[in-house]
Each structure stands twice: as structure tokens, then as C-alpha cells.
Amino acid sequence: MKFVILAVGLLLGVTANATIMPKADLVVVKKSQYSLTLYSKGVALKRYWVALGSNPKGPKVREGDNRTPEGRYLLDYKKTDSNYYKAFHISYPSVADMQRASKLGVNPGSLVLLHGQRKGSVMSDQTLQRSNWTNGCIALINADMDELWESVEPGTPIEIRP
């Protein structure tokens, strides 16, 4: 029986050591801890190390401030035409973000992503994740992005906390 299961797994491209993670229903980013945690029904599935924008403290206020937004958004679609390995679009700016920017007379910015490494990057995973190298996005190493890509569906909420 074990041979049959292994043979079927190999036909489907699943190795004997592969783990199938449940679908996540919430993504939580804690900027101060440089962490992203996937949740399903209130249970933490897995935690990842992230890189943020080069000015990580405080919420994103305007385009070009290199800050990562704070608040509750949606991972609203998988972006297939990205300069990064894989990317989810984050539904920033919210109505509240746009109102705050309007009061300040600034553009709130847009195109905030949760993404892998820049295509063609030759830096090591460790080097990249030790720095805040994005323009305000949330970045994972590519292997972690692969796991997230399989576990998270478009429409999943993302909470970005200080």
C-alpha cells in the first residue's frame, strides 16, 4: 500500500517529504518583529521572516516614503506580471488611508505588494532578509513565497501591525 501511495505522489509531483499546509484564512505581519504568520481558523500554521520598506517605523502616509502600510487589507490578487519572483497585491490604500493623505495634501501611493526576491537577484537569502530593501512592500525569500503562494488564495485578509 505504501508503494502505491508513493507512486501516486510521484506522479502528482509530490515527494515523500513534502508537507501539504492547510489553506490560510488570515495573514498577520508584525513589522517590529519582521514576521509574517499564516493562520487557519485561529491556529498559527507557519511563521516567516520578512524584509520591509527602508523606512519601516510608522504607517505609510504618502507615495515615496518607503514605509510599509499598517492596517487591515486584502491580498486581493496574485500579480503575474511582477518584477519579483511571485507577488500578491495588497489592497492599499484603504478609504481611511486616502482620507488621511487627502488631509495632508499628498498622494497615498499604491502598488504595495507581498512578494519574493527581485528577478535576477544574486544576493543570498540571508543577506536580503537582514535588510529592509523594499520601497514599502513586504518581501519573503522565494522558497517561503512558494509556500505562501500555495496556502493563500486571493481575497485573504492581511493585517499589518506595527
- Dist CA 135 CA 77 (whole Å): 20
Enter the pTM of the model: 0.83
Question: What single letter denotes the amino acid at residue 125?
Answer: D
What confidence score (pLDDT) does residue 127 get? 58
Closest CA to 24 of 37, 35, 11, 9: 37
Comparison of pLDDT for 7 and 38, the residue scoring more: 38
- Per the prediction, the chain carries an average pLDDT of 87
Strands (E), 41-148: 43-49, 71-79, 87-90, 112-115, 138-139
- Dist CA 77 CA 74 (whole Å): 9
